[in-house]
Amino acid sequence: MKNRLLWPLIALGALLVLNLVFTPSFFTLRMQDGHLYGGLVDVLKNGAPTLLIALGMTLVIATRGIDLSVGAVAAIAGAVTCVHIGGSGSAGTAFAGMALALVLCAVLGLWNGFLVAGLGIQPIIATLVLMTAGRGIAMLVTEGQIVTVNNSAYRQVGAGFVVLPTAILISLLVLGLVALATRKTALGMLIEAVGVNPQASRLAGVRTRTIIWTVYVFAAVCAGIAGLMISSNVSAADANNAGLWIEMDAILAVVIGGTSLAGGRYSLTGTLLGALIIQTLTTTVYTIGVAPEVTLVFKAVVVIAVCLVQAPKARAAFSFRKVAVS
Amino acid sequence: MTTLAPPSRFLPVLATVGLFVLAFGIGSARYDGFASGQVVANLFIDNAFLIVLAAGMTFVILSGGIDLSVGSVVALSTMVTASGLRAGWPVPLVVLAVLLIGATLGLLMGLVIHKFDVQPFIVTLAGMFLARGLCFLISVESVSIKDRTFRDVATAAIELPGGVTITYNVVIALLVVAAAMYVLHRTRFGRTVYAVGGNESSALLMGLPAARVKVGVYVISGLCSSLAGLLFSLYMLSGYGLHAVGMELDAIAAVVIGGTLLAGGVGYVLGGLAGVLVLGTIQTLISFQGTLSSWWTKIVIGVLLLVFIAVQRTMVRR
């Protein structure tokens, strides 16, 4: 396990060192009005939605699935909440709206689970349906407008502080809960069993379908919470652009963290590292002063590098060469 | 016993063609001026690039892979075209450069997928990021195309009998479809694509050049994407890094609606064409309707995808 996390750790370390060289103030933390500020806090805060979605994605990928619809689900969550809140400023409306949105997300997760586990459709395609239709649904909810709200209770989710930004605390809480639920019980092993061989695990008495269903619902709810964060941070719901391409970032985070897309094993710590790498990379590009759009090139390079380092065939090729040289 | 019924393997394509006829029929019955030759011609004019993309995507999906990079390669191609022309390169050189870039990107992705056994999904996702990032590396702004020759080709209209006009884009797209059909259905390479998609191990054991095909389909897809990018530059007369966002999904949707199995091994180039026409007709219907907003297009495409996948699923089970 340690060996598998070594490369992501090195990559993250290298990025942080790079930041230290370019902006020495990157690592300074300061307290102001009881709130913690600093470069590292920014990385964690901006990376919180990606981390949340990546957590859900990790479990889905561990069952040999994939969920492309999370970005659209995040957009729907933000849209539903903002439309529900409307002009109201009361905390009660905000919580009701968020609860409504998360329940709806769970239903969307059930739908994905139904397509994958119930009808046996390939996960990529099953979730592609909601990825395409989902943004349409979000726009239907907001009637194509960007809905802005002014609700202090809602703002707390994405922009609030409890010493640290609330977004960080929420995502770390979810990370802790998932780690407890899957690593301290047999659930994690069952999920991996489904990923290795669904047929065999079913014959061995694992409730394969229920597990697949559960992970898709969990992924959708995570996406919903992330959607709330994104929309709350700007106090608006943008059906078109909220969470755009976040599914790709989440999948990247999971893959960089050493979870195989072929399913059967996963690492939550790896996913955390992966999400941090992606966010640090984005922040680094900003601070170095390269046009932010060019981040994509760096992302591509990192993905390919990490994938090649982890690919068994590439490893074999490298070690072969080492032997040949010596 | 001889029957007039078509072989069952053509059924998915025929279903899609039927859907196209049905959608078009509904449009003709409800709206004046829908059932005209020009509306059909416009379907081809407005979707020429998508037709080319779908043809390339069919190869990849038939071989059991997927190519998420096509939309970004289209954007990169428009960018290279626009900035190349702005720098004063002659048109043939620009065309050659664009096609070379597309094919090279495809080749690189194919090699990584094949040599290192990394999932096509991840590799082409990286390709998607790379191509879009490269666009912005060239220019963050939109670059308009002012080259005289290029504009002439873009605006030239070909008169067809019945007063219908089409553009050169349509001719190129249909030529690509014809070439793709020839390669896929009439050459050894094409047969091998089906064999690899059906069962790679069997194809290998039969001594078929599976490696060449697995890399080749991505080169074809890259080439088609860059060609589609050229058509898109003719259509938009500009290059921009945010062109064709999400077009890979349209291409995949068109191919799936056209009856190609995502598991690989089953499907036809013509299916992709029919799929594009169905998507185009839905868009035309919604624009004719007027009160329905454009986001309904997305929902309808999602529902169609669902229906076709569910139908495919039951057919495969049988």
Q: Chunked in runs of 10, what are the mean pLDDT values of chain B (318 residues)?
A: 64 86 90 87 94 96 93 95 93 95 96 89 88 90 90 88 88 96 94 92 91 95 97 93 86 90 87 93 86 79 84 66
Q: How far apart are CA B33 and CA B278, in angstroms?
A: 18
Residue A186 contacts B, CB cutoff 8 Å:
no
Contact (CB<8Å) A312/B298? no
Range of A176's domain? Answer: 2-325
Structure token pair of residue A129 = 């349906």
Report yes or no for ipTM above 0.90: no
- Does this model's pTM top 0.90? My answer is no
| CB atoms near residue A99 (< 10 Å) | 12
From the CA of A271, how many Å to the nearest CA of chain B? 16
Q: Are strands B238-239 and B143-144 parallel, antiparallel or unpaired?
A: antiparallel
DSSP summary character for residue A25: G
Per-residue pLDDT at A132 exceeds 70: yes
pLDDT value of position B3: 56
Q: How far apart are CA B315 and CA B194, in angstroms?
A: 18
CATH code, domain carrying A192: 1.10.3470
B241, B296, B305: residue with CB nearest A132: B305
Alpha-helical (H) ranges within B144-209 are 148-155, 168-186, 188-198, 200-205
Structure token pair of residue A198 = 């669904």
User: Which of B298, B301, B308, B313 should one mutate to test binding to chain A, selecting the residue with the greatest count of A CBs within 10 A?
Assistant: B298
Burial of B313 (0-12, 13-18, 19+ CB in 10 A): middle
What SS3 class is residue B117? coil
From the CA of B298, how many Å to the nearest CA of chain A? 5
Residue B127 contacts A, CB cutoff 8 Å:
yes
User: Which of A60, A115, A129, A256 should one mutate to test binding to chain B, selecting the residue with the greatest count of B CBs within 10 A?
Assistant: A129
Per-residue pLDDT at A3 exceeds 80: no
Contact (CB<8Å) A307/B296? no
How many domains, in total, are found in chain A? 1
Q: Find the distance separating the first CA and the last CA of chain A, reported in whole Å.
A: 28
Q: Which domains occur in chain B, in start order?
A: 11-22+34-317 (1.10.3470)
Residue B297 contacts A, CB cutoff 8 Å:
yes
pLDDT value of position A1: 47
Closest alpha carbon within chain A to B309: A121
Per-residue pLDDT at A185 exceeds 50: yes
Highest mean pLDDT among A109-113, A164-168, A195-199, B29-33: A109-113
